[in-house]
Amino acid sequence: MSTQALSRSRPKRASGGWRHAAQVLVRTLAAVFGGYFLAHAFSALGASILPFSRPDRVVAGALLAFPVWCAAAIYAFGARDWKRAVGLPLALGLAMLGLASLLAEQALRP
């Protein structure tokens, strides 16, 4: 095949290639760090409100945080735009940490 035919068969690269790479990077960071933040907040809230003994609440909250982290990572790549991919896990995590801090006395129960 000639080089001319090869160049015609390859798709043209979009002019915004760096934008796509930046969005993938932001979504990856949102999945890793935003997901971790959301999972941590969920674990703290779970340790406050679950109806078990204190060690069991902590372990159950930590174990239930892993699916939350996975769901946040899936959401980061499935969100409509990068602002939602970053904003929603951050907002939910802040709300959960706020609620967990309000219930801090309840977390100290045996």
Containing structural domain, residue 78: 19-107
Q: Is residue 41 part of a domain?
A: yes
Q: Is residue 13 part of a domain?
A: no
3-class secondary structure per residue, the chain: CCHHHHHHHCCCCCCCHHHHHHHHHHHHHHHHHHHHHHHHHHHHHHHHHCCCCHHHHHHHHHHHHHHHHHHHHHHHHHCCCHHHHHHHHHHHHHHHHHHHHHCHHHHCCC
Please tell me whether the overall predicted TM-score, pTM, comes out greater than 0.85 for this model. no
For the stretch 62-107, pLDDT in tens is 999 999 999 999 999 999 999 999 999 999 999 999 999 998 887 6
Q: Is residue 25 part of a domain?
A: yes
State how many domains the chain has: 1
Q: Is residue 1 part of a domain?
A: no
23, pLDDT greater than 90: yes
4, pLDDT greater than 80: no
pLDDT of residue 22: 93
